[in-house]
Structure 1
Amino acid sequence: MPRAHDHFHGRHYNAERTTGPVKALNPTKRYLVADKKTLNAESDAGNAGKESRPGDKSPGVAYVWRSRDNRKGRHALAISVDPHKHEATKGPRPSNTYHQTLRGILKMFVRYPVWDVSYDVAFVFTIGSIIWVINGFYSWLPVLNPSTKVSDWAGGLTAFIGATVFEFGSILLMLEAVNENRSDCFGWAVEESVDGMLHLTHAHNCKHAHAQKGTFVKQSSKSLGNDTAESPGNDRMWSWWPTWYELRTHYFFDIGFLACSSQTFGATVFWISGFTALPPILNNLSTPAENGVYWLPQVIGGTGFIVSSILFMVEVQPRWYIPAPGVLGWHIGLWNLIGAIGFTLCGALGFGITHPGVEYALTLSTFIGSWAFLIGSVIQWYESLNKYPIWVDQKIERLGQRKS
């Protein structure tokens, strides 16, 4: 039996080039300059007749470990120049180009990896957000146009279903958080031929659970490769909940885990409002009871969503006060923050619903919040299907020079 602390073998806590937005918490990002392996003999023979060109020195390349990517099964790579603008480099285009973005959008229509918990999280939240958008229409339109007739069941039932779907998505989010990869796994093959040509390709021997169709049942990561000897804890099976040792030594200091926990807490409390929104319950509540079991859970649950969204944004930032608009995860957190504020504002305004204009404001805040959640969920869906991001970062060249 592996000891509890084996789960943390090879962590990034004291590694070089490791950063995090909050010093008191675990690091969230690490650069590791890639070692360029020589291609096999057949490739070398094919390139032997080519002369090396002095001006075509291969660019610097670095693997990028990020805590969010690690949960999502993504493998990031940073390169000092665009591979398609450098004659000595062969590889995919940077992920932020129009071509790669369109390819990523296309994947959303043709790929359905239901065994990937990150995909499930994104898809479930997208479905839940669509339900909340429908609820927003049912709630806001009758206030905007009083001649519009909508049954009480339309708003109440969609609220209950939407809250239930969000709760299910939050449970999946927690499972994702406690099943992040347990060792260095970068997912890229960086190889150099004898003529100096640099080749960047995807390596599929990583040990992330996301690629394994059996992980929800019994999959052991030791079956995903033969190189787990250096990390004894890698043979741990799919985990439904971490041990107390893992919680107090790692997860309580992990921004992503704290964000997921806040999301789950918020969704659980918010579900109470979804349940009490059903007409047989809501229509028979006194004003104090309605405030306590309908509006108050919306405020508490929405606050949990706000905290979660802020933590998800901070997780991908270089410093807690510096935004990171170049990272998908940051935009997901931003849109979810807007949605969370809308839902929280709805609950807060509900305490004064008898005053003129308040009903319009609270239904509008729900409508806007549901659309914001939908946008964030769709971006997360896109993120879950694009496992190999690559971008240009000029400082990688300096990291390579420092290493040499």
Structure 2
Amino acid sequence: MESSTTTTTTSPQARKRNNTFHGAHEPFRHETELHVQKETVSGPVSFLDPTKAHVRHATHPDVRFQWSSRNNRKGRHALLVDQAQTSSKAQGTTPRPTSSPRSVARGIWRMLTYYPVWDVSFDVAYVFTLGSVIWVVNAFFAFLPLVQPSSGFRNEALYGGGITAFVGATVFEAGSVLLMAEAVNENRAGCSGWALARPPSRADVDDDDATAAVLAPSESNCTHHHPNRRNLVGKPRHPVSVPASASASASVSKAAPDTHPREWQWYPTSHDLRTHYLHSLGFLASLSQLCGASIFWIAGLTALPGIYDKMSRPVAIAFYWTPQVLGGLGFVVSGTLFMLETQSRWWKPAPRTLGWWIGAWNLVGGVGFTLCPAFGYDESSWAQYQAGLSTFWGSWAFLIGSVMQWYESLEKFPVEVDRRGTVGGGAKEGSRGNMHLDLA
């Protein structure tokens, strides 16, 4: 009986889907030095795939790599460090937390000076930022004449509002297509993106001393498609095998070479769709965004001069206002799912995580874009005022979320200080009571 009970407990069928990786989608399954900590595999919804896991390095016990489905999709490599467990001998061997003011300032400067157009995650963020700016301009055309009538000009809402609505909806559609491509081309093998190297000043330290190694970002070791500068839709960059005896520098990721590299794809196979993507929060959120943007584009088309002003009231309700309601609901669902993806529990917000705020602002934007047509069904002056106002604050919410996503797309190597003491089994004192946003 005891043997039977043990077998039932450890059986894969007994584990919920959010607590175990499915087959070929298990990250780091071919690694020799990186091991997923099974007890840390989790997700907020029991019938969907895991969204988080800690990955342990065999020779560097004070450091964990924090895998998450969002970071993996965007080519990011999160490092989880417990400063309380780091010995004085190892101080200075781990990177500065990316939530520090200096790192944040560097990230903002990077946004102004670095434009990796070959990176689909950057393209997604940049296109949505551009689209949000256009919608903010559209909101001024629609709302400002109601607040300050003297500022208006003839046919301002028809031409200014109509043309910017069409352009903004088209840009959002393009961003949504790229968002889906990003989700379909997620990294399946697992990628740490970091390298262990011994500083020159410690050349006399024994090779077996793990604390003598310095962790540093290494784009050359990244197996994501994001660093591929040759084209947007090419093969990912694959790691070069590093001998285990290399003394100067060693890749953290030592996976066996893939003899059949995965090609870029614009849509998933039916098998992958059934077995994986329909159980992935990130894919479902991206799909909701694409569906919402596609329906919303109909309203953008019918907003054009020569179409909108020729429609009767029933036709306008059917082809202008209703697509906005349905499209806005798609944005609401998408923002909610992106928030949920970053949470440890479906009911527990994650305000310390940057990705959660991106989803939250997109949710607010979706609510604004849904309320606008809801008020627009009513032709009374107060309802039209509220419709314009909803577009105004909804557009700004989308812009804030898009700019934050832009920042996120350029920070490929976030470093987070563990406040729960899970690294190396430490206590909570590793947090030191700091209250700050984790840019991971």
Q: Aligned pair count?
A: 373
Alpha carbons 1:89, 1:197 under 8 Å: kept:
no
Give the corresponding residue for 1:385.
410
Give the corresponding residue for 1:8.
25
- Tell me, in whole angstroms, the C-alpha distance in 2 between the residues paired with 1:343 and 1:85: 52
Letter matched to residue 271 of structure 1: W
Alpha carbons 2:85, 2:426 under 8 Å: kept:
no
Residue by residue over 1:224-266, the C-alpha shift from the partner in whole angstroms, topping out at 9 and shown as x without a partner, is: 4456547666x11111111100000000000000000000000
> Are residues 284 and 97 of structure 1, via their aligned partners in 2, closer, same or farther at CA, if it must alter by over 3 Å?
same
Give the corresponding residue for 1:170.
176
Give the corresponding residue for 2:235.
219
Give the corresponding residue for 2:326.
300
1:282 maps to 2:288:
no
Moved more, 84-93 or 16-25: 84-93
Shift of 1:183: 0.8
> Are residues 97 and 385 of structure 1, via their aligned partners in 2, closer, same or farther at CA, if it must alter by over 3 Å?
same
- Tell me, in whole angstroms, the C-alpha distance in 1 between the residues paired with 2:342 and 2:315: 41
1:158 maps to 2:164:
yes
- Tell me, in whole angstroms, the C-alpha distance in 2 between the residues paired with 1:225 and 1:342: 48
Give the corresponding residue for 1:46.
none
TM-score by length of 2: 0.80
TM-score by length of 1: 0.86
- Tell me, in whole angstroms, the C-alpha distance in 1 between the residues paired with 2:358 and 2:39: 29
- Which of 118, 123, 127 is residue 121 of structure 2 equivalent to? 118
Shift of 1:34: 2.0
Letter matched to residue 25 of structure 1: L
Give the corresponding residue for 1:397.
423
Structure 1, unpaired ranges of 5+: 38-58
- Tell me, in whole angstroms, the C-alpha distance in 2 between the residues paired with 1:225 and 1:295: 54
Bigger relative contact order, structure 1 or 2 (CA pairs below 8 A, ≥6 apart):
1
SS of aligned partner of 1:23? coil
- Tell me, in whole angstroms, the C-alpha distance in 1 between the residues paired with 2:86 and 2:136: 42
Shift of 1:36: 2.5
Letter matched to residue 33 of structure 1: R
Give the corresponding residue for 1:316.
342
> Are residues 274 and 266 of structure 1, via their aligned partners in 2, closer, same or farther at CA, if it must alter by over 3 Å?
same
Letter matched to residue 72 of structure 2: N
Shift of 1:191: 5.7
Letter matched to residue 165 of structure 2: A
Letter matched to residue 199 of structure 1: V
Identity of aligned residues (%): 49
SS of aligned partner of 2:216? strand
Give the corresponding residue for 1:106.
109
1:363 maps to 2:378:
no
Structure 2, unpaired ranges of 5+: 1-21, 30-35, 199-204, 242-253, 428-440
Give the corresponding residue for 1:32.
55
Alpha carbons 2:37, 2:56 under 8 Å: kept:
no
Over aligned residues, Cα RMSD in angstroms? 2.5
- Tell me, in whole angstroms, the C-alpha distance in 1 between the residues paired with 2:375 and 2:357: 27
SS of aligned partner of 2:214? strand
Shift of 1:6: 8.1
Letter matched to residue 189 of structure 2: S
Give the corresponding residue for 2:186.
180
- 1:124-135 to structure 2, matched below 5 A, reads 124-135=127-138
Letter matched to residue 61 of structure 1: V
Alpha carbons 1:332, 1:379 under 8 Å: kept:
yes
Residue by residue over 1:112-144, the C-alpha shift from the partner in whole angstroms, topping out at 9 and shown as x without a partner, is: 100000000000000000000000111101111
- Tell me, in whole angstroms, the C-alpha distance in 2 between the residues paired with 1:334 and 1:84: 35
SS of aligned partner of 1:357? helix
Alpha carbons 2:159, 2:304 under 8 Å: kept:
yes
